[in-house]
């Protein structure tokens, strides 16, 4: 059905777009139409004509303005199309839901019309107040920049026009800056932000004032000049929110904004220093290979104080990135250019990282630096541990490097260092050094040396006096060194040697000490050792201490020692149920044992749903005091009588209250049991007062929940009391998940699965009221919890799952926690097959857009990936969510790249998973994915097999993301550094275009041609001049000019 009004609008618009003013005037006169009649809150003829593709004369625009006439050109209509596009989306603003004539003219870059509108008193600072909220309070105040940003019509050209025509600086808000940080269109880097800062800060007025002072020779002190510059910068206040927003975007889109903020930040130096430290800007600069920004940061005055820096970690990060230039910059900045008290700095961890990385260039840099810094500059010997690692690096370089000059240099460095008296005999007798050697080499000689030193009285004293001993052992146990495979096998052996030696020495020592000294020193020391064994997760060592016949009288599992945690508490917080149960079984009583907050372990386990530990605790008498059970603010005589096992009083109270337990005595006021740790029924059961329990069972609400959401059935399960469980089920107790008024709740079947008791699980399934498709608090079904449980065999799991499925359990649960996902993440092909046989969807789409195959890829299980593909999983599935609002979709193959698992990636390619390097946005996404994962094996694989096609489509993305490591891979694979893409642009051209000075330097050093001219006739010099107004473009322009001219 046609719309008459719409037809007339289109007809008039057609006449106007003929661009014939006379014809238009004649039509108005003859038809006697009133243009105002065609306008409403969603359509305006002036805006319609402005936005039309065809050009119309300014005379016609002026005629329309005069004809209507408008009371003011500062009005708006609703943008129906934009409202529909953002309906239900995550877009936070409604900025684009409105149109004005001026907004539209500038959005479509029709600047002559915009100028005409301004002459007719359209206001460049006009703001639309959006009342899109239930309260009627303004939700957004929309400026022209907000509007253009939201509709993706904000460009360099129209932003300059807006600023040149009087846009007020007060509208440059923190929110606007944050929006521009994440703004995506064809504008690259931060041109829009730079235009704004450049326009308002250091503007013509500021320059003229300085020139005026110079002309009339007005003296400006450093303090006055600093004040003027700071005042100028603070025209736009840089705040923490801007830094935070940039950091959140840093891995992908707009890291460069941080450099911009640093340059224009008018805050006090210490405030800027705090921001750099708080937002880890130094770390991120290293991560992003941003050499010149890092150099600027390191030259910043407050960084002269290095006490707040983790120098080790910063240099290690640079080594991990294999960036020699940045590693060298950090070493020189921290050790040569500052007097920061680092003369005694230990290079042990840095050398260890280099030993692990095995990068020849990094190793040579460090060897050279240490010789020059420690030997020549400070005239200091290097430490024993440093020398051990240095020797290992020396042998590696000699075996790998072929250049004679490098070998000679390395030998000379080694000769200088080895000439120092670093290897004295007493160094080898040190326990710490012997332990280091055992950890570093992991061979029999080093282990024997450790044993020998430990068996001396001097070694025992050294360990006792070493406050870092605990950290040393635990660090050793957790160490994972891929370059010394033997070490990983001997870690536990080393710890065993140390602990056993200490125990033997301790036993021998006690024979020479008085009882007072033993109680004062030895007993706490044994408790300290026991805690170390627990933290190492070694039941063997725990048993060695507790079951040692000579130590047994000295081991008190319930004693309290200053600064030493109780072993039972340590086991609990280490989440080691095996050791926790062992300690409980060896006469530790949890009655008096509390955590640091003064809460008993029982209460802690109850609060935190720690079902396994709760089960273990409930095997022993209830470790709880009367005052814990009964609230002083609201005492219940019934609870007191139960606690005291006074059955006569219990019966009397119940009878007097008409056999009701849910109201206070002689009232109708209901009792809120959420204020009490236990209900009367639960308390009598846990205290094992069977007479009282059986009596209360007749009258109590068996489904009553206590303060933490437990009912009697839950505690019966935790006590593994099958008889009571079956009895309660026969009486119709509710076994399903439910919550109390405080939102605490539990699922009976979940508890049975958590404690690994299949007999209880099967009993619960017999309940007539059981609902097996109600998710628990974590959104999981029992089916998923069975799959994840470590306490059932595969056959047990299959039988239990089959029971649930036959009972109607959902297979394709509409949530992120479906059983199929859990089976995949558990890498259990048999369970996956069981689910698929019962109609699980192999291509099920989860709420987060993932498919089962994506989860298999993220789990890095090639066998599972193959199995799913063989069963029909879609290898070309596109994830159902937009990537960073730029329209790029994640794919299965991109997830494989992100995982960094080459065998999975290769397999998917062989199964015809599609990957292309023709789409610019997709290329950017590929490089972002590699950047995020830090995995380059797949990139090397692609470069090796698709070098020409792969390189041509991907090099711009590599330059944009400053991935110098990927660039090196391409060049090492034979990629021509002067290769030109379809537009004739080279790598150097892109480095200049994206204002990447570090890459420009590197490419020129590697042989890039600075005279390249692309197909548009643009030279490298033209590019450098074009982008020279950028902060990062100025130095590049000067460098290119010095080469070309």
Quote the mean pLDDT of the chain: 84
Confidence tier at 303 by pLDDT (50, 70, 90): low
Task: Find the range with the poorest average confidence among 527-536, 697-706, 830-839, 1020-1029.
Answer: 527-536
Q: Express each pLDDT in 604-655 by its tens digit.
A: 999 999 999 999 999 988 877 787 777 655 557 888 899 999 999 999 999 9
Q: Does residue 171 lie in a domain region? A: yes
DSSP assignments along 132-192, one per residue: -STT----EEE-HHHHHHHTT---HHHHHHHHHTT--GGG--HHHHHHHHT--SS--TTHH
- Asked which of 205, 231, 259 is the last residue of a domain, the reply is 205
Eight-state DSSP code of residue 456: S
Residue 189, pLDDT score: 66
* Mean local confidence (pLDDT), 441-452: 71
Q: Does residue 1022 lie in a domain region? A: yes
Residue 1013 phi, psi (nearest 5): -125, 130
Residue 303: CB atoms within 10 Å: 19
Alpha carbon distance 245, 157 (integer Å): 25
Q: Which residue has the higher pLDDT, 217 or 591?
A: 217
Residue 925, pLDDT score: 80
Q: Does residue 667 lie in a domain region? A: no
pLDDT exceeding 90 applies to what percent of the chain?
A: 45
Q: Does residue 968 lie in a domain region? A: yes
- Asked which of 205, 238, 264 is the last residue of a domain, the reply is 205
Confidence tier at 820 by pLDDT (50, 70, 90): very high
Whether pLDDT at 245 is above 60: yes
Q: Does residue 549 lie in a domain region? A: yes
* Mean local confidence (pLDDT), 187-193: 76
Whether pLDDT at 32 is above 60: yes
Residue 762, pLDDT score: 96
Residue 947: C-alpha distances to residues 689, 953, 975, 979 (Å): 79, 10, 7, 12
- Asked which of 184, 205, 226 is the last residue of a domain, the reply is 205
Confidence tier at 330 by pLDDT (50, 70, 90): very high
* Mean local confidence (pLDDT), 511-526: 74
Task: List the beta strands (DSSP E) in 522-641.
Answer: none
Alpha carbon distance 473, 454 (integer Å): 14
Q: Express each pLDDT in 939-989 by its tens digit.
A: 888 888 876 766 667 888 899 888 898 999 999 888 899 999 888 999 999
Whether pLDDT at 1005 is above 60: yes
* Mean local confidence (pLDDT), 194-213: 89
Q: Express each pLDDT in 385-434 by its tens digit.
A: 888 888 889 999 999 999 999 999 999 888 887 776 455 545 555 666 77
Alpha carbon distance 1006, 387 (integer Å): 35
Bridge partners (DSSP) listed for residue 564? 561
Task: Find the range with the poorest average confidence among 5-14, 15-24, 443-452, 667-676.
Answer: 443-452
Q: How many residues does the chain have?
A: 1045
Question: 570: domain CATH number?
Answer: 1.25.40.20
Specify burial of residue 543 (Cβ count, 10 A radius: 0-12, 13-18, 19+): middle
Residue 482, pLDDT score: 43
Q: Express each pLDDT in 258-286 by its tens digit.
A: 999 999 999 998 899 889 889 999 999 99
CB-based contact 695:733 (threshold 8 Å): no
Residue 203, pLDDT score: 86
Alpha carbon distance 942, 926 (integer Å): 12
DSSP assignments along 952-1001, one per residue: HHHHHHHHHTT-HHHHHHHHHTT--TT---TTS--HHHHHHHTT-HHHHH
Confidence tier at 457 by pLDDT (50, 70, 90): low
Q: Does residue 425 lie in a domain region? A: no
CB-based contact 823:811 (threshold 8 Å): no
Confidence tier at 474 by pLDDT (50, 70, 90): low
Residue 748 phi, psi (nearest 5): -60, -45
Q: Which residue has the higher pLDDT, 118 or 544?
A: 118
Whether pLDDT at 591 is above 60: no
Specify burial of residue 56 (Cβ count, 10 A radius: 0-12, 13-18, 19+): buried
Q: Express each pLDDT in 876-927 by its tens digit.
A: 998 876 444 455 677 899 899 888 899 999 999 999 998 877 777 778 888 8
Confidence tier at 254 by pLDDT (50, 70, 90): confident
Whether pLDDT at 871 is above 90: yes
- As for how many domains the chain has, the answer is 3
For 576, the domain range is 513-621
DSSP assignments along 749-768, one per residue: HHHHHHTT-HHHHHHHHT-T
Whether pLDDT at 50 is above 60: yes
Eight-state DSSP code of residue 700: S
Q: Express each pLDDT in 165-180 by its tens digit.
A: 999 999 999 989 988 8
Confidence tier at 489 by pLDDT (50, 70, 90): very low
Q: Does residue 68 lie in a domain region? A: yes
Q: Does residue 252 lie in a domain region? A: no
Alpha carbon distance 556, 554 (integer Å): 6
Residue 449, pLDDT score: 72
């Amino acid at each position: 059905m046609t719309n008459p009004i719409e037809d007339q609008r289109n007809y008039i618009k057609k006449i106007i777009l003929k661009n014939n003013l006379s014809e238009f005037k004649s039509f108005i006169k003859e038809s006697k139409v009133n243009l105002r009649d065609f306008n409403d809150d969603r359509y305006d003829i002036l805006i319609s004509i402005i936005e039309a593709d065809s050009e119309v004369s300014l005379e016609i625009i002026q005629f329309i303005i005069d004809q209507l006439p408008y009371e003011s050109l500062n009005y708006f209509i609703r943008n129906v199309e934009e409202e529909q596009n953002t309906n239900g989306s995550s877009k936070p603003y409604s900025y684009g839901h409105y149109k004005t004539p001026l907004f539209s003219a500038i959005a479509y870059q029709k600047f002559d019309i915009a100028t005409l509108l301004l002459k007719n008193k359209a206001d460049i600072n006009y703001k639309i107040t959006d009342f899109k909220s239930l309260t009627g309070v303004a939700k957004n105040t929309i400026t022209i920049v907000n509007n253009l940003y939201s509709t993706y019509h904000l460009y360099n050209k129209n932003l300059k026009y807006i600023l040149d025509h009087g846009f007020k600086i007060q509208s440059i808000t923190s929110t606007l800056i944050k929006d521009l940080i994440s703004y995506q269109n064809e504008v690259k880097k931060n041109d829009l932000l730079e235009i704004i800062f450049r326009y308002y800060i250091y503007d013509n007025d500021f320059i003229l004032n300085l020139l005026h002072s110079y002309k009339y020779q007005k003296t400006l002190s450093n303090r006055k000049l600093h004040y003027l510059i700071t005042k100028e910068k603070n025209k736009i206040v840089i705040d923490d929110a801007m830094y935070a927003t940039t950091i959140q975007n840093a891995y992908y889109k707009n890291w460069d904004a941080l450099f911009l903020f640093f340059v224009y930040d008018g805050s006090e130096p210490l405030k800027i220093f705090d921001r750099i430290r708080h937002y880890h800007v130094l770390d991120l600069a290293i991560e992003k290979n941003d050499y010149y920004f890092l150099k600027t940061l390191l030259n910043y005055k407050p960084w002269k104080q290095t006490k707040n820096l983790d120098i080790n970690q910063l240099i290690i990060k640079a080594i991990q990135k294999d960036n020699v230039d940045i590693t060298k910059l950090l070493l020189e900045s921290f050790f040569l250019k500052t007097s920061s008290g680092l003369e005694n700095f230990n290079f042990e961890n840095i050398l260890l990282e280099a030993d692990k990385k095995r990068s020849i260039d990094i190793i040579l840099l460090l060897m050279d630096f240490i010789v020059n810094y420690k030997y020549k500059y400070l005239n200091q010997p290097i430490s024993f541990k440093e020398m051990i690692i240095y020797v290992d690096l020396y042998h590696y370089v000699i075996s790998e490097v072929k250049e004679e000059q490098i070998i000679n240099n390395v030998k000379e460095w080694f000769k200088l260092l080895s000439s120092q008296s670093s290897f004295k005999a007493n160094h080898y007798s040190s326990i710490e050094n012997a332990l280091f050697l055992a950890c570093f080499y992991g061979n029999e000689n080093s282990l024997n040396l450790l044993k020998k030193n430990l068996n001396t009285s001097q070694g025992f004293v050294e360990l006792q006096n070493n406050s870092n001993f605990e950290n040393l052992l635990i660090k050793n146990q957790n160490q994972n060194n891929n370059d010394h495979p033997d070490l990983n096998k001997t870690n536990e052996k080393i710890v065993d040697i140390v602990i056993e030696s200490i125990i033997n020495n301790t036993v021998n020592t006690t024979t020479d000490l008085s009882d007072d000294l033993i109680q004062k020193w030895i007993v706490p020391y044994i408790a300290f050792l026991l805690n170390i064994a627990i933290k190492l997760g070694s039941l063997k060592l725990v048993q060695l201490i507790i079951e040692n016949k000579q130590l047994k009288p000295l081991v008190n599992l319930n004693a309290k020692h200053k600064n030493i945690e109780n072993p039972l508490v340590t086991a609990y917080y280490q989440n080691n149920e095996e050791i926790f149960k062992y300690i409980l079984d060896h006469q530790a009583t949890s009655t008096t044992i509390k955590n640091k907050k003064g809460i008993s372990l029982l209460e802690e386990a109850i609060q935190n749903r720690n079902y396994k530990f709760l089960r273990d605790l409930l095997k022993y008498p209830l470790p709880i005091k009367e005052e814990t059970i009964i609230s002083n603010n609201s005492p219940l005589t019934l609870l007191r009588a139960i606690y005291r096992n006074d059955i006569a009083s219990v019966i009397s109270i119940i009878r007097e209250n008409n056999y009701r337990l849910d109201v206070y005595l002689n009232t109708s006021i209901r009792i809120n049991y959420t204020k009490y740790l236990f209900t009367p029924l639960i308390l009598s059961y846990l205290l094992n007062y069977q007479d009282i329990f059986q009596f209360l069972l007749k009258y109590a609400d068996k489904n009553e929940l206590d303060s933490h959401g437990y009912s009697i059935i839950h505690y019966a399960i935790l006590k593994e009391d099958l008889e009571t469980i079956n009895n309660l089920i026969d009486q119709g107790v509710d076994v399903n998940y439910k919550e109390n008024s405080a939102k605490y709740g539990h699922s009976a079947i979940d508890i049975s699965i958590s404690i690994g008791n299949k007999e209880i699980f099967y009993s619960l399934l017999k309940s007539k009221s059981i609902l097996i498709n109600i998710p628990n608090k974590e959104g999981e079904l029992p089916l998923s919890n069975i799959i994840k449980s470590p306490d059932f065999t595969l056959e047990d799991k299959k039988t239990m799952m089959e029971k649930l499925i036959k009972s109607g359990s959902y297979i394709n649960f509409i949530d992120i926690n479906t059983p199929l996902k859990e089976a995949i993440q558990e890498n259990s092909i048999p369970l996956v097959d069981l689910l698929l046989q019962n109609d699980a969807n192999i291509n099920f789409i989860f709420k987060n857009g993932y498919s089962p195959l994506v989860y298999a890829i993220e789990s890095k299980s090639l066998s599972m990936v193959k199995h799913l593909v063989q069963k029909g999983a879609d290898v070309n599935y596109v994830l159902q969510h937009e990537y960073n609002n730029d329209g790029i979709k994640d794919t299965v193959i991109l997830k494989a790249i992100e995982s960094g698992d080459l065998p999975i990636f290769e397999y998917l390619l062989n199964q015809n998973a599609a990957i292309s390097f023709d789409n610019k946005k997709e290329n950017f996404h590929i490089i972002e994915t590699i950047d995020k994962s830090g995995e380059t094996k797949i990139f090397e694989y692609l470069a090796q097999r698709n070098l020409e096609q792969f390189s041509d489509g991907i090099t711009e993305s590599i330059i944009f993301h400053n991935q110098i490591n990927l660039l090196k891979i391409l060049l090492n694979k034979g990629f021509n550094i002067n290769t030109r893409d379809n537009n004739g642009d080279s790598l150097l051209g892109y480095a200049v275009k994206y204002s990447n000075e570090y890459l420009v330097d590197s490419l020129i050093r590697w042989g890039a041609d600075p005279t390249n001219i692309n197909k548009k006739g643009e030279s490298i010099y033209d590019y450098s001049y074009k982008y020279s107004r950028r902060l990062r473009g100025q130095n590049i322009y000067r460098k290119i000019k010095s080469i070309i001219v």
